[in-house]
Structure 1
Amino acid sequence: MSTTLDKIDRKILAELQRDAGKSLDEIAKAVGSSKTPVWNRIRKMRDGGVITGHTMLVDPEALGLEACFFVLIRTSEHDSDWQQKFLYALQARPEVLEAHRLAGDIDYILKVRVPNARAYDQFYQALIAEVKIHNVTALLSMEEIKATTVLPV
Structure 2
Amino acid sequence: MPNSSPALDEVDHHLLGLLQRDSGRTLRELGDIVALSPSAVKRRIDRYRKHGVIARQVTLLDPIHLPTVLLAVCLVTLERESSRHQQAFRKRLLDATEVQQIYDVSGDWDYVVVLACSGMPHHTEVAHRLFNEAPNVRRYTTLFVLDPVRTSGALPTRAPNT
Note whether the superposition's TM-score is higher than 0.5: yes
* Offset, 1:62: 5.1
Counterpart mapping for 1:3-152 below 5 A:
3-60=6-63, 65-127=68-130, 128-152=132-156
Q: Which amino acid aligns with 1:76?
A: E
**Distance between the aligned counterparts of 1:9 and 1:140, measured in 2?**
37
* Offset, 1:61: 5.8
Normalising by structure 1, we get a TM-score of 0.89
**Cα distance, 1:132–1:110 mapped onto 2, change above 3 Å:** same
Q: Secondary structure at the match of 2:133?
A: helix
Describe the superposition over 1:90-111 as per-residue Cα deviations: whole angstroms up to 9, x where unpaired.
0111111111111111111110
What is the CA RMSD across the aligned residues, in angstroms? 1.8
Q: Which amino acid aligns with 1:37?
A: A
* Offset, 1:85: 1.5
Describe the superposition over 1:55-82 as per-residue Cα deviations: whole angstroms up to 9, x where unpaired.
1112346566521111111122331221
**Distance between the aligned counterparts of 1:2 and 1:82, measured in 2?**
31
* Offset, 1:132: 3.0
Normalising by structure 2, we get a TM-score of 0.85
8 Å CA contact 2:71–2:117 kept in 1: the answer is yes
8 Å CA contact 1:95–1:113 kept in 2: the answer is yes
Unaligned runs of 5+ in 2: 158-162
Q: Secondary structure at the match of 1:70?
A: strand
**Distance between the aligned counterparts of 1:96 and 1:24, measured in 2?**
32
**Distance between the aligned counterparts of 1:2 and 1:96, measured in 2?**
28
8 Å CA contact 1:101–1:108 kept in 2: the answer is yes
**What percent of counterpart residues are identical?**
27
